[in-house]
Amino acid sequence: MLPIFYDPHHVRHDPAGLHTYDPRNAAYYVEVARRGELIHHALQAAGLGPIQPPQDWGMAPLAAVHTPALLELLATAYQQLAREAGAPRPVIPETYQVNPAGVRRPRTIFGRLGQHCFDIASPIFAHTWDVAYWSAQVALSAAAAVQAGQPWAYALCRPPGHHATADMYGGFCYLNNAAIAAQWLAGQGRRVAILDVDYHHGNGTQAIFYTRPGIFFCSIHADPLDEYPYYWGYADERGAGPGLGTTLNLPLPLGCDEAGYWPALQTACAAIAAFAADVLVISLGVDTFVGDPAGGFRLHTGSYGRMAREIAALKLPALIIQEGGYRLDALGENVAAFLSALCGG
């Protein structure tokens, strides 16, 4: 049995129809609603479950990770732009504050967006706040299942979360689902390790726990010299202050295949064991799959089963949170392969 949490209303946040400047001449808004539906269908087809809706754990667990300013902006940006522009439209920043954050708080929506968003990949639509809120509740519901004694639980989160920091959104992410769940578990007295296997570095999760000694963050990802998010995810970022040594980054070269990936995963698992975690939060991105439109690694469907068995050997209860994965013809199958192997031992 694998408790799976899923909110079908996620489809109300769907950048698929949005046309905008496309800096790479590729499908830029790849984080589309169909992703969640494809994963859901694949899990049903694989007989995994039970699949259930999330409970509402309220705002407190979100506020334990994110700043009031970010939460307020996400909840009100769409209406504020509609008022200022005279008509509703998707909210995308036009200016970014690059000088050190000061005390001034611009009154206009574009002034405020530039203080809390770091890219153009994360449009806010009429229902984005609501969908992001319930994505976080999906993660919390899975965390509660693990806390109640389940060996595993899977959170089919959409939108994803690992690029969102305490005070900024971006990279398709609005609320950091993995960090919210990890923080909640830590609040229950658990010693939490986070393993982020998304193709991209989980800069938001790293930043949230960077100075915290009690939560270990480990990420395996594409070398940020070549890949988003560019400015974070280097091997010499190891935490700071009381958190020094509780961040471990394992960047890998573009084109990395299973043979290149495996030593990094084994290093990660050894570090998690050495930290003596008693619960694991896995940020599962399958954009490491060969041919992913947002990725550059060369893993295959069988790699995800192997990955799950390696992680299961840690013998830790684990909460799996969905992050990226954009090759739609293989997305559901890859997630199901990981989860089936985890449950099957």
Q: Tell which residue, 231, 180, 224, 174, has the closest CA to residue 198.
A: 224
Q: List interacting residues with Zn ion (CB under 5 A).
A: 198-200, 285, 287, 324
Mention every residue, 6+ apart, whose C-beta is less than 8 A from residue 305. 337, 338, 340, 341
Query: In this structure, how many other beta carbons lie within 10 angstroms of the beta carbon of residue 322?
Result: 30
**Residue 163 is a catalytic residue:** yes
CB of residue 46 to Zn ion, shortest distance in Å = 23
* Spatial separation of the C-alpha atoms in residues 304 and 344, rounded to whole Å: 13
Q: Tell which residue, 187, 191, 249, has the closest CA to residue 217.
A: 249
Residue of 13, 66, 163, 200 with catalytic role: 163
CB of residue 107 to Zn ion, shortest distance in Å = 34
Q: Contact at 8 Å (CB) between 2 and 335? A: no
Nearer to Zn ion, 160 or 317 (CB): 160
The two structure tokens encoding residue 124: 């806010």
The two structure tokens encoding residue 96: 């970014």
Angle at the Cα of 80 (from 75 to 82), degrees rounded to 5? 120
Nearer to Zn ion, 129 or 326 (CB): 326
CB of residue 287 to Zn ion, shortest distance in Å = 4
CB of residue 304 to Zn ion, shortest distance in Å = 15
CA–CA distance from 121 to each of 12, 83, 225, 236, 285 (Å)?
17, 23, 19, 27, 17
CB of residue 121 to Zn ion, shortest distance in Å = 11
Q: What is the DSSP letter of 319?
A: E
CB of residue 129 to Zn ion, shortest distance in Å = 22
* Spatial separation of the C-alpha atoms in residues 155 and 141, rounded to whole Å: 8
Burial 83-114 (b: 16+ CB within 10 A, else e): eeeeeeeebbbeeebeeeeeeeeeeebbebbb
CB of residue 222 to Zn ion, shortest distance in Å = 9
Question: Tokens 């408790």 map to which residue?
Answer: 3
Spell out the SS3 assignment of 54-90. CCCCCCHHHHCCCCHHHHHHHHHHHHHHHHHHCCCCC
Catalytic site positions: 163
